[in-house]
Amino acid sequence: EEYLLEVKGLKKYFDVTEGMFKKERQYLRAVDNIDFFVKQGETLGIVGESGCGKSTTGNLVMQLLDKTEGEIIFEGVDLGKLKGEALRKKRAEIQMIFQDPFSSLNPRMRVFDIIAEPLKTHNVAKGKDLENQVYELMDVVGLDRSYARRYPHEFSGGQRQRIGIARAIALKPKLIICDEPVSALDVSIQSQILNLMSKLQKEFQLTYIFIAHGLPAVKHISDRVAVMYLGKIVEITTKEKLFDQPLHPYTEGLLSAVPIPDPTLRDQKDRIIIEGDMPSPANPPSGCRFHTRCPYAQEKCRNVEPNLVEEKPDHFVACHFPLEEGHGVLIEK
Ligand code: SF4
Ligand code: MG
């Protein structure tokens, strides 16, 4: 099977050594050897707490950051091996929608120029043709054409995100990385933007990587979901399998944190609570990085790092003692 995007052994370490002359360098292992793929036309959700490496992963794929190690293979080509014009062209096929529609748009540019900029930079259109393309993009994202001469501050968060989306799709990209695109918006506006994104996905055969803090945010839009913890992918599978039968205790914990609207269902599933904060990625725990918070941790977990393996068809998990049927197996300590 040929994937639109394939990420292999990807690492991003930030040097956080204090004092220039220290011999022993200290690294923040923001992304620490992850593998995943994205199929053409699907949405891969990436979920995890702040500092788990999800945004860094998005920024690495987007080429906004240099990787420490690994391969980012887009349409069969390792982006790390491309240079100059070839890289510039490929990069244009990957775009990003940012979390904060307030800071991601240049406040001194009018809406028209914000949307026109990528088209101009990549010499896609000029003059009347450029104008038509910008207006068509405004139509597509539901922005009235009469807004073209206005500035970003004149708009609400939802409308600004529509401007950001128009800009992101201007070059007809294949992949769009959406980094918490609705989390800064009012709840009432969130579903409008998500609906727009789904509509555009069908219309333009877009592939999405959808980054979010929690599982509810990716439930409707994702086909598959990757759960990250301290720079690692701990589980990755289809949305259905992840929500119905999570295999990793951390995923189960994230699901347990989701309020169940019907209180009669409350006791039907074992619910675990993840206590404490995520440890620092500069000094991750030995063995399984989740062992300091995992209710099922055993001796082996403290010493041996679990690899991400295909435990069930199309269901990958990094845990020595994966859960059965979404329920915690109580392990004698
Ligand atoms: Fe918990 Fe051990 Fe699995 Fe890590 S490997 S998630 S500590 S049971
Ligand atoms: Mg982030």
Domain with residue 229: its CATH number is 3.40.50.300
Residue 123 lies in a domain: no
Residue with the larger pLDDT of the pair 323 and 21: 323
Question: Is the per-residue pLDDT at 199 higher than 60?
Answer: yes
Ligand in nearest proximity to the CA of 99: 2
For residue 327, what is the DSSP state?
Answer: B
The reply to whether ligand 1 has any atom less than 6 angstroms from the CB of 316 is no
What is the reported pLDDT for 259?
59
**Predicted confidence (pLDDT) at residue 265 exceeds the cutoff of 50:** no
C-alpha R_g of the chain: 21
When pLDDT is averaged across residues 60-69 and rounded to a whole number, the result is: 95
Residue 66 resides in a domain: yes
Ligand 1 pocket member 297 (CB < 6 A): yes
Q: Tell how far the Cα of 288 is from the centroid of ligand 1, in angstroms.
A: 6
Cα dihedral across residues 133, 136, 138, 144: positive or negative: positive
Note the pTM of the prediction, 2 decimals. Answer: 0.92
Number of residues that this document lists for the chain: 333
pLDDT at 56 over 80: yes
Do the domain assignments include residue 67? yes
Banded pLDDT at 268 (limits 50, 70, 90): very low
Q: Among 100-104, 186-190, 301-305, which stretch is predicted with the lowest mean pLDDT?
A: 100-104
ipTM over 0.95: yes
Highest mean pLDDT among 3-12, 24-33, 99-108, 248-257: 3-12
The reply to whether ligand 1 has any atom less than 6 angstroms from the CB of 291 is: yes
Q: Which of 298, 299, 305, 324 for mutating ligand 1's site (highest number of atoms within 8 Å of CB)?
A: 298
Percent of the chain with pLDDT over 70: 93
Q: What local confidence, expressed as pLDDT, does residue 204 receive?
A: 96
What pLDDT band is residue 257 in, cutting at 50, 70 and 90?
A: confident
How far apart are alpha carbons 95 and 206 in whole angstroms? 11
Residue at 325 is within a domain:
no
Q: Is the CB of 319 under 6 A from ligand 1?
A: yes
Residue 125, in any domain of the structure = no
pLDDT more than 90, % of the chain: 80
Question: Is residue 266 scored above 50 in pLDDT?
Answer: no
Q: How confident is the model at residue 327 (pLDDT cuts 50, 70, 90)?
A: very low
pLDDT in tens, 8-25: 999 999 998 888 777 888
Is 255 among the domain residues?
yes
- Dist. CA 215 → ligand 1 center (Å): 20
- Reported as type and span, the H/E element at residue 192 is helix 187-204
Q: Which residues pair with 29 in a beta bridge?
A: 13
Spatial distance between the Cα atoms of 26 and 24, rounded to a whole number of angstroms: 6
Two tokens, residue 301: 């977990």
In a domain, 61, yes or no: yes
Q: Looking at residue 271, what is its pLDDT?
A: 65
> Ligand 1: which atom is nearest the Cα of residue 249?
6
Ligand 1 center from residue 295 Cα (angstroms): 8
Report the domain count for the chain.
1
Q: Quick one: pLDDT band at residue 261, thresholds 50, 70, 90?
A: low
44-48, 149-153, 181-185, 262-266: range with lowest mean pLDDT: 262-266
**Residue 215: which domain range?**
5-93+175-185+202-317
Q: What is the mean pLDDT of residues 133-143?
A: 98
What residues contact 317, with CB distance under 8 A and at least 6 apart? 234, 235, 247, 248, 308, 309, 311
Q: By alpha-carbon position, which residue is closest to atom 3 of ligand 1?
A: 319
Residue 297 alpha carbon, nearest atom of ligand 1? 7
Ligand number nearest CA of 247 is: 1
Is there a domain that residue 247 lies in? yes
